[in-house]
Structure 1
């Protein structure tokens, strides 16, 4: 179930690691590397948990207990799954896999909104990168309006490699970008697909864009350069749902 995502203090963080809670990242005060913090950092590195060294003042601002002892961990508000679990979910439903891949989405409200729409549009799962992206925080859980309990989210260390593996399983990788050749409704979005949505500011990264089988765009009038990531994702997810219904 969803729960608070902030764990403060050396003992609570160590206990969370021992209990194998899903930790998204750990913030450590610069210069605080002695004793138990050194041990925590060692365990975190072994597990591939991102560690950020920040000014103590930053931890003071984030702290709710005011007893952070130089360390705050952010635990996932919900457990992650692996990509195989998402593919299995589609298989069990007798449906072609429909996956949403988010490339470096950093706004928790956007991630929560995407998960909420994904649940409504029949998406089998969402894939996010381990670094430079928001994880399943308490804000994400709240914004998803409960959908976080039903939409599996996989967190991967290498998005490009994950895309390669999905291609091996027969999925088409479709990127959404302003320079896409065709409008989203001019493409066949049925079959086994993964939609790739870029970050709020930069869009899809160059390497990930090169991995896409084709790029589509959402036509727009007016002066605004691009849509919010969760709005763009919603438009595309519902187009996939519409096209799939049309082929039933």
Structure 2
């Protein structure tokens, strides 16, 4: 209209056109640009596969027995442990296993085991927490907990050099484990070391059992008196013992010396016990001063590692008493 054409700003400049001149300024193009490949489900924090992978890293297996897609991590002997189940919890408390917390499901059906567990925990001033069953399922990684679980703190390992103490009363006697993976064997050996005057146990950091609740229970309380040392490299630890004046005796069914014939019983000793199946590893065997065998009937192929250690410790104790 004529009136509008004279209004300031209403006249269209020459060469211009109605609407956008240069488009969206590239916003739509940038919005369509790719952001890289979509991450795997196990790498997205909000995906259930990610949570399953985290549980698998913690417990060894994912939900439903599936392994995590990430490479397995080296086992850490310093990790805490949760004991699940009424019988297991009661037996652990009876064995005076150190515990930080006992978890009890809400509205649990009480029986003699639950009442005994509550009484022992109260007497030992162990905190008791009433926990929803869903939370107990998470804490025990889906184990059959029957409404009862016990948190066990990480075991405090000694250093192998702590067992080399010239002020130790008596003749030093140490047991080292090479490839022992059964916690009951470790517990039995700790108990035998305490019974026959030993001063400590050495376990390697890799390919070996640690001081779990099962090992503590099998030791029948001896783990509270006998230090267990953690060696980063068992062969190097044995060499350090030798430099400190110890003799290293390895147990093997094909040993050169029969146990009753050993002549080093009165010396500072490290007894190395290998696994029942594989025996001593090559490097450990080469580090030993003598390889000793336990005489037995030909009808028996080998002895359990815990029994072999007990027999050897008894014989050394007997010879020392006679000296």
Q: TM-score, normalised by structure 2?
A: 0.56
Query: Pick from 52, 61, 64: which aligns with 1:57?
Result: 64
CA shift, 1:87, in A, is: 1.9
CA shift, 1:198, in A, is: 0.4
Once the two structures are superposed, the pairs formed by residues 112-151 of structure 1 within 5 Å of their partners are 112-151=187-226
CA shift, 1:125, in A, is: 0.5
Judge conservation of contact 1:171–1:193 (CA < 8 Å) in 2: yes
Query: Pick from 61, 67, 70: which aligns with 2:138?
Result: 67
Judge conservation of contact 1:87–1:124 (CA < 8 Å) in 2: no
Once the two structures are superposed, the pairs formed by residues 37-186 of structure 1 within 5 Å of their partners are 54-58=61-65, 65-67=136-138, 78-88=155-165, 91-186=166-261
2:262 aligned with 1:187: yes
Query: Pick from 283, 290, 295: which aligns with 1:219?
Result: 295
Deviations 1:49-102 (A, max 9, x none): x98854443499x985322698xxx976531111122222xx333323211011
Write the distance in 2 (CA, Å) between the matches of 1:54 and 1:171.
42
Moved over 6 A (4+): none
Judge conservation of contact 2:190–2:222 (CA < 8 Å) in 1: yes
CA shift in 2, pair 1:126/1:76, >3 Å: farther
Judge conservation of contact 1:103–1:197 (CA < 8 Å) in 2: yes
Bigger CA radius of gyration? 2
Deviations 1:118-171 (A, max 9, x none): 101111000001111110000111100000000000011100100111111011
CA shift, 1:200, in A, is: 2.5
Write the distance in 2 (CA, Å) between the matches of 1:184 and 1:168.
24
Write the distance in 2 (CA, Å) between the matches of 1:59 and 1:75.
26
CA shift in 2, pair 1:82/1:148, >3 Å: same
Secondary structure, aligned partner of 1:93: coil
Stretches of structure 2 that go unaligned for 5 or more consecutive residues are 1-40, 51-56, 68-80, 85-135, 142-150
Deviations 1:198-243 (A, max 9, x none): 0132111111011100101011114221000000000000111111
Write the distance in 1 (CA, Å) between the matches of 2:229 and 2:44.
33
Judge conservation of contact 2:164–2:241 (CA < 8 Å) in 1: no
Q: TM-score, normalised by structure 1?
A: 0.71
Secondary structure, aligned partner of 2:167: helix
Write the distance in 2 (CA, Å) between the matches of 1:51 and 1:170.
42
CA shift in 2, pair 1:66/1:52, >3 Å: closer
Q: RMSD of aligned C-alpha atoms?
A: 3.0
Task: Considering fraction of residues, name the structure with more strand.
Answer: 1
Stretches of structure 1 that go unaligned for 5 or more consecutive residues are 1-30, 39-49
Judge conservation of contact 2:249–2:272 (CA < 8 Å) in 1: yes
